[in-house]
Amino acid sequence: MSERPFHDRDGFIWFDGQLVPHRDAKVHVLTHAMHYGSSVFEGQRAYDGTIFKLEEHTARLRASANLLGFDLPYTDDEINTACYELMKANNLTNCYLRPVAWRGSEQMGISAQKTKIHVAIACWEWPSYYSMEERLKGLKLDIARYRRPAPYTAPSAAKAAGLYMICTVSKHAAEDKGCADAMMMDYRGRVAEATSANIFFVKNGEIHTPDPDCFLNGITRQTVIQLAEKAEIPVHVRPIWPEELSDFDECFLTGTAAEVSPVAEIGPWKFTPGDVCKRLMTDYDNLVWGRTNG
């Protein structure tokens, strides 16, 4: 992946219905979303020219916007078509796409009903979130200081930019300690997720994963659960407390960027990537590359 800053790249970005040169896709410094977090986004991948679960991602983008009190000024079909137009314009077939919607600069303050709603889509080459070396040996995770908020304190079902602020802080702190990521608890002290990926555990060949009642029920998470059920691997969606972690054999993360990534260590707890991790890594890889049907 290129280390060039994201504002200084060639190609195009789809911006409010038009393809514009990448460097010209700009917003004003007094844009409401920059000051008040009134922005939602998606992360999706294309494999050999096909965007995996595109319809589901676009539907979630709209649902997230609605949870923040605004609607997208384009239909789902228009957004889906724009994603493929953008890939073609940038001559990309294997890439990451980032649709984003936000409130503009017409008003500055908490009240912002008159702001224009903007939508943009960018895409770029981006391999798995973690290097293959990290994935094969298992990731090392820190334990985040901050917790996922209660659903009665924030729109936790939205993929809203503001909800990721504590993720950035937590991931930076983890990387400062030599870790790849951090595991976050929820507001009750239960295991929740990593900073940008859902988490799964394995015990005696069966999968256990937290109930996503206060964090995002990831599209990759749902896909992996379906793959596990297809492989006749029992899946238990339930509350998981930290003191249970010493009883689990395997652990892995899932997400559009992370795909399926085994974990070897979370704070004092150790795991060994095993048969379940390897099976789901392979099955997910086969599915997204079109070698099998979901």
53 tagged catalytic? no
C-alpha dihedral over 61, 65, 70, 71, to 10 degrees?
20
Q: Residue 35: CB partners within 8 Å, gap ≥ 6?
A: 108
The structure tokens listed for 265 are 């260590």
Print burial letters for 255-279: b (CB count within 10 Å at least 16), e (below 16).
bbbbbbbbbbbbeebebebeebbee
* Contact (Cβ atoms closer than 8 angstroms) between residue 99 and residue 120: yes
Closest to 34 (Cα-Cα) out of 44, 42, 23, 26: 26
As a whole number of angstroms, the distance between CA 193 and CA 178 comes to 19
Strands (E), 170-292: 181-185, 191-194, 198-203, 206-209, 235-237, 250-255, 259-266, 269-270
As a whole number of angstroms, the distance between CA 38 and CA 162 comes to 7
The structure tokens listed for 165 are 């602020």
CA distances from 48 to 11, 101, 129, 289 (A): 19, 26, 18, 7
The structure tokens listed for 241 are 């407390």
Identified catalytic residue from 88, 137, 140, 159: 159
Question: What is the CB neighbour count within 10 angstroms for residue 73?
Answer: 14
The structure tokens listed for 112 are 């912002």
Give me the active site residues, please.
159
